[in-house]
Structure 1
Amino acid sequence: MATEKENPLFISWHDSNWIPMLNPSNILDYFSERSNPFYDRTCNNEVIKMQRLSQDQLSNMTGVEYVLLHAQDPILYIVRKQHRHSPQQVTPLADYYIIAGIVYQAPDLCSVINSRLLNAVYNLQTAFEEAHSYARYHPSRGYWWEFHDKEDSDKSDVKEKKKDEPSSIFQRQRVDLLLGELAKKFPPKFVAPSQPEAREEQVKVEPKQEVKQEKAEDKSTTSSVKPPPEKKPKHIR
């Protein structure tokens, strides 16, 4: 706990009275508040503030100073702490980022690499421990792996049950609304039959009509033809 309190990476600072009116012109004044634990009162900014000089005089001084490195109004500001050796030579010491009025210290490269290595080692250690729990050994059989099939089957059953659960009224109504909007924006298009197909249908239908007419004509001709006269027998005298 003591290391966390001493380490500036674990602390933050803000003043709620300043937050609504923060801008690039007064962000250094906000950072130089006496209650800010990241601010060094022995810096050149404090000297200029006490003597009521302009910030342009910082380049003519030597020592620790704070400058506004980047500003993305109104949410993000980056302040750099640096040691000035000459008007053209400075050495960065630390960076502080202010997000929504809350000040944090940016971690250095050593802290980032150390955190990533610890995270990787922890994940590897947990993986080896889990793999070791599945290993089995017997003098007559040797080594083998024994996985928890029952637990996996139980988990799969639970997943299947969750999949089989019916959807809620909210889900169904929202889906219907989305489908209705899509149908309005992109109405379905019905393809009409092309002209060649219609002509083929006409060609196919016309012969049938001709055949019917021929059959009707045959019937009319057969009905109009009269049978030959009957031969009368001759009387013998």
Structure 2
Amino acid sequence: MGVPSNITDNPLSVSWHDSAWIPILNTANVMDYFSERSNPFFDRTCNNEIVKMQRLNPDQLQNMVGLEYVLLHVQEPILYVIRKQHRHSHQQVTPLADYYIIAGVVYQAPDLASVLNSRLLSTVHHLQSAFEESSGFSRYHPSKGYSWDFKSQRGNTEKPKLKEEKPREEPSSLFQRQRVDMLLGELIKKFPLPMPPQAKTISVPIKTESENGTSENKEIKTEKHEKIKPPPEKKPRIT
């Protein structure tokens, strides 16, 4: 149980309750619970307090003029709605505020202006968040201009996949291909590739024996690979 000191500044952010009353709260005693002195929502100058002090019948409120509190709606055992109103006559009243009691906790119901203001602020906040998120997908390239890229941030919202998708590479331009070919040609001229070894045929004499027991000389040709050294590099002339 507590009494906030700044209820007049923003009553919509204030709540009040008394733990001793909550287990026994019902329709018959909810108005007595609301009229507790520690309740900051209850005005002591109301007609309810006058009827209570003079021990009059609560029905006498309809014959009085001024501020009063009435039980507007009941949904036992969880919800009670109490209205604050100004009575002008027996049949004419002006509603001032509504209070609802949920599970023994008293709150002030927001008025229509507060509800509209809250909804507008919430709408503006979500629109601002949407614009900021959409601007994060925009890309700019000097040759292409502005474009949208939704694939780079798709992994933040989708479920993780077993195999990661590689980003698609953009095709090269004609200028890039010609430039690469020219650089490769200059590198080949400066650092030539080693020549493959050339094969050389060599005859090797071998003695063999015939069926008659005589020896014969035969030549077998084999290939011998020799490495050809690359031409010596020319040293730059110092001038």
Asked if these proteins are the same fold (TM beyond 0.5), I'd say yes
Structure 2 SS opposite 1:6? coil
Partner of 2:22: 19
| Unaligned runs of at least 5 residues, structure 1 | 162-237
Give the structure with the larger strand fraction. 2
Partner of 2:154: 152
Partner of 1:50: 53
Structure 2 SS opposite 1:16? coil
Distance in 2, matches of 1:3 and 1:122, equals 27
Task: Please give the per-residue CA displacement for 1:124-156, whole angstroms capped at 9, x wherever unaligned.
Answer: 001111111222234432221123x24424764
Equivalent positions of 1:1-237 (< 5 A) are: 6-147=9-150, 149-153=151-155, 156=158, 158=160
Aligned length: 159
Q: 1:88 to 1:107 in 2, by over 3 A?
A: same
Contact 2:7 2:40 in 1 (8 A): no
Letter in 2 for 1:55: P
Contact 2:97 2:109 in 1 (8 A): yes
Distance in 1, matches of 2:112 and 2:22, equals 30
Q: 1:116 to 1:156 in 2, by over 3 A?
A: closer
Task: Please give the per-residue CA displacement for 1:94-134, whole angstroms capped at 9, x wherever unaligned.
Answer: 11111111111111111111111111100000111111122
Task: Please give the per-residue CA displacement for 1:10-49, whole angstroms capped at 9, x wherever unaligned.
Answer: 1111111111111111111100000001001111101111
- With normalisation by structure 2, the TM-score equals 0.61
Q: 1:139 to 1:5 in 2, by over 3 A?
A: farther
CA deviation after TM superposition for structure 1 residue 3, in Å = 8.0
Cα RMSD after superposing both structures? 2.3
Q: 1:159 to 1:22 in 2, by over 3 A?
A: farther
Structure 1 SS opposite 2:146? strand
Partner of 1:187: none
Structure 2 SS opposite 1:86? coil
Structure 2 SS opposite 1:123? helix
Contact 1:63 1:84 in 2 (8 A): yes
- With normalisation by structure 1, the TM-score equals 0.62
